[in-house]
Amino acid sequence: MSAISATHLSKHYGRKAAVDNISFNIQQGEIVGFLGPNGAGKTTTLRLLAGLIHPSSGSSQILGQRVPGPNLLKVGTMIEEPSFYPYMTGWANLKHAAILHGGIADSRIDEILKFVSMDKAAQKKVAAYSQGMRQRLGLARALLWRPKVLLLDEPTNGLDPVGIAEIRENLREIASGGVTILISSHILAEIEKLVARVLVIEKGKLLFDGPLTQITQNLDEPQTSYQLQATEQNALEEKLSELGYGFESLSNGYLRVAVPLSEAPNLLSRLAAENINLLEAKREEDSLEDAYLRLLREDGRPS
């Protein structure tokens, strides 16, 4: 049984399609990244899955039941920037959420605040919280009733690198218990460390659904990059320009050159044939960010 599914799901606002006929299935225990530029339809999709808005057409299911339905009680959400009562403490805000949901002991509030490293700030008013602290409290609220499904919209906004790493480990631990997580983020390097599968949406349309290992293989023109250093860097720059290769100067003194994968074996031999003496040539692995940006360009976005 799929934990999350969408079938020809669409949402229109007037003539504009915020979400346009998308379908996907996510199995129990998966962590799936949801990628797309601002305005692509990520938040609208999450709101549809959470039953916060009604679709214009199509449908979605949570744990085998149509949305909206009783299984939404098994969903934890953190969609857009979380809002709280600023005059109440973090603990009191979670107590309020616990009362509304029902059946949650005070000990669970303490447990989940410790889990997201907010136990020491639990008795401070939310008005004094930083953005990162509010994000942590939002994740705590989403986890409060031990959900089977998590819908997370940019959960690491405002967190420093240490905080991002902590949240990543928290989510891995949660997923290991069978919880399904759909997480949107613009921090592609972080998504790459967390998920094995991504959905990519642009202009409301689903462009890609598959494992990270395949995202580059599914593109018409996969690329790779080299970092190059020569005895005469100026000569290297001139020759790369003559040969039609784009490049960028890096802070470490190297030049990064992106080439189509099919041309990669020829790059170094062509430079050697032009009497360019390379001191070092380091090939880079194609990153999720590289593949993601190419995918958007293939859909018509300017480079």
| Residue 280's CATH number | 3.30.70
**135 and 258 in a common domain:** no
Same structural domain, 244 and 106: no
Residue 198, in any domain of the structure? yes
User: How much is the pLDDT for 297?
Assistant: 57
Extract the tokens encoding 69.
């339905």
In which domain, by residue range, is 55 found? 2-215
Question: What is the per-residue pLDDT for 38?
Answer: 81
Instruction: Give the chain's domain count.
Output: 2
Give the sheet arrangement for strand 31-35, strand by strand: 75-78, 149-153, 180-184, 31-35, 197-202, 205-211
**Among 157, 181, 215, where does a domain finish?**
215
Residue 172 — φ and ψ, nearest 5°? -60, -40
Is the predicted pLDDT of residue 153 greater than 70, yes or no?
A: yes
Instruction: Specify the higher pLDDT residue, 277 or 44.
Output: 44
CB atoms within 10 A of CB 126: 20
- Phi, psi at 164, each rounded to 5°: -60, -45
Q: Identify whether residues 65 and 203 lie together within a single domain.
A: yes
- Domain-ending residue, one of 186, 215, 244: 215
Mean per-residue pLDDT over the chain, rounded: 86
Q: At which residue do the structure tokens 């290992």 appear?
A: 213
The reply to whether 264 falls in a domain is yes
Q: Which pLDDT score is estimated for 208?
A: 86
Give dist(CA 105, CA 117) in Å, integer. 19
pLDDT reported for residue 300: 47
Do 167 and 270 lie in one domain? The reply is: no
Tell me which of 110 and 232 has the higher pLDDT: 110
Confidence of residue 61 (pLDDT cuts 50, 70, 90): very high
* Residues near 173 by beta carbon (within 8 Å), at least 6 away in sequence: none
| Claim to verify: residue 112 and residue 202 sit in the same structural domain | yes
Distance from the Cα of residue 158 to its chain's centroid: 15
Examine residue 50 and state whether it is found in any structural domain, yes or no. Answer: yes
Residue 210: pLDDT band (50, 70, 90) is confident
pLDDT of residue 303: 43
238 and 198 within one domain = no
pLDDT above 50: residue 302: no
Which of 124-128, 231-235, 238-242, 263-267 is modeled with the greatest confidence? 124-128
Owner of token pair 């959420």: 97
204 and 232 co-located in one domain: no
Q: Do 118 and 244 sit in the same domain of this protein?
A: no
Residue 54 confidence (pLDDT) above 90? yes
Q: Are residues 171 and 278 in the same domain?
A: no
Nearest by Cα to 203 from 22, 52, 49, 47: 22
In a domain, 292, yes or no: no
More confident residue, 140 or 238: 140
Do both 188 and 240 map to the same domain?
A: no
Distance CA 262, CA 247 (A): 17
205 lies in the same domain as 238:
no
Answer whether residue 91 is part of any domain. Answer: yes
Q: Quick check: is 295 in a domain?
A: no
Tokens of 228: 């190059």
Q: Answer whether residue 269 is part of any domain.
A: yes
Using CA atoms, how far residue 103 sits from 50, 93, 98, 109, 146, in Å, is 21, 16, 7, 12, 11
Q: Give 291's DSSP letter.
A: H
Whole-model pTM? Answer: 0.73
Whether residue 186 is found in the same domain as residue 250: no
Among candidate residues 195, 215, 235, the one where a domain is terminated: 215
The answer on pLDDT for 289 being more than 70 is: no
94 part of a folded domain = yes
Per-residue confidence (pLDDT) for residue 184, from 0 to 100: 92
pLDDT tops 70 at residue 298: no
The tens digit of pLDDT for each residue in 159-170 reads 887 888 888 899
What's the average model confidence in pLDDT over 269-285?
A: 81
Q: Domain of 93: which CATH number?
A: 3.40.50.300
How much is the average pLDDT of 20-46? 92
